[in-house]
Amino acid sequence: MHHFVDAAPGIRLWVEERGAADAPPLLLIMGAQASGMGWPDELVDALAVHHRVIRYDHRDTGRSTWPFDRQPYAITDLAHDAVAVLDGLGVDRAHIVGLSLGGMLAQLLIADHPDRLLSATLMGTCALSTAPYTAPDGTRIPPTELPGIAPHVLEMWSRPVEDHGLEAELDRRVEHWRALSGGQLPFDADYFRGLERRIIEHTGHYATTTAHGRADDSGLLRTDELARTDVPTLVVSAPAEPVFPPPHPQHLAQAIRGARVVEIPGMGHALPREVLAPLTRAVLDHAAGRRPGTPAL
């Protein structure tokens, strides 16, 4: 079932629900420039066996309003949108799962709206905290000195996107997923091409946007709030991650009070078929209070 939620004046968000209406709600929050359709159907359906799964299109993605060029907004507004989705569906509290920018938005919800959360699962993201990372040998490392984005990903992001037709755009998106996948698992180009074709069909066009990269990113740090939260939090560690590579997940788990870490073998900054089953188990176990993973050191 899908419908629209009015999140703010002039902002309407496309929302989809799967699973039983009386099951515990679980909100999926996608990354930058990514439609909610970026969550693979296989993952959504597997989670929906036990949850009322909610996914939605951010502003400037999918079928939601594309307002940035006439109505600029801040990253924090995207976190407010997630709360608006819950409000629009009459959901008091939900489990949340955030990927990449979605993981940052999830941290804002942990810090600013803990009363709306049952649990949080974060992946492919960095800590919104100035607390240092304590390495296994006891060395304390400032967050600014943790590993950065892989050069080949930065180079790809720096290229201008030109319109050479649908199939060329699909080629570009597939190569983008290849770069983000990290190289530890076999890359299935047909799988990602199918994913992107469905996203384009859902959106109704293949135009791209840099809105989220241009949005005001001030005021994101939540060092103290994350350090004292009571929201049960799981951090997914992806060993092939090229955007926020280890030890970013370990730092994130240290920055969030009580957080635990689970590693998904071979995972990068993407959701190929090989990671869906272990990721589903990790999310379901965490939401059920079975506490997968290990505590942060």
Per-residue pLDDT at 295: 63
Per-residue pLDDT at 294: 63
How far is residue 250's CA from residue 268's CA, in Å, rounded to a whole number? 15
Write out pLDDT tens, residues 59-71: 999 999 999 999 9
Query: Which spans in the chain are helix H?
Result: 41-48, 75-88, 101-112, 151-158, 166-181, 189-203, 211-214, 223-227, 248-255, 273-287
How far is residue 254's CA from residue 56's CA, in Å, rounded to a whole number? 29
How far is residue 225's CA from residue 241's CA, in Å, rounded to a whole number? 26
Q: Retrieve residue 37's tokens.
A: 């359709």
Per-residue pLDDT at 1: 85
With a cut of 70, which residues of the chain have pLDDT below it?
A: 292-297
Q: Which residues contact 67 (CB under 8 A, 6 or more apart)?
A: 10, 11, 59, 60, 73
User: For residue 17, what are the β-bridge partners?
Assistant: 54
How far is residue 237's CA from residue 4's CA, in Å, rounded to a whole number? 33
Per-residue pLDDT at 296: 59
Cis before residue 143, ω within 30 degrees of 0? no
134 to 131, 137, 139, 255: CA distances (angstroms): 9, 8, 6, 10
Structural domain boundaries, residue 7: 2-295
Per-residue pLDDT at 292: 64
| Conformational region of residue 197, where left means phi above 0, alpha means psi within -120 to 50, and beta covers everything else | alpha
Q: Can you tell me whether residue 181 is helix, strand or coil?
A: helix
How far is residue 104's CA from residue 73's CA, in Å, rounded to a whole number? 16
How far is residue 144's CA from residue 32's CA, in Å, rounded to a whole number? 21
Per-residue pLDDT at 194: 98
Work out how many domains the chain is built from and give that number.
1
**CATH code of residue 206:** 3.40.50.1820
Per-residue pLDDT at 293: 61
Q: Which residue has the tokens 């949850």?
A: 51
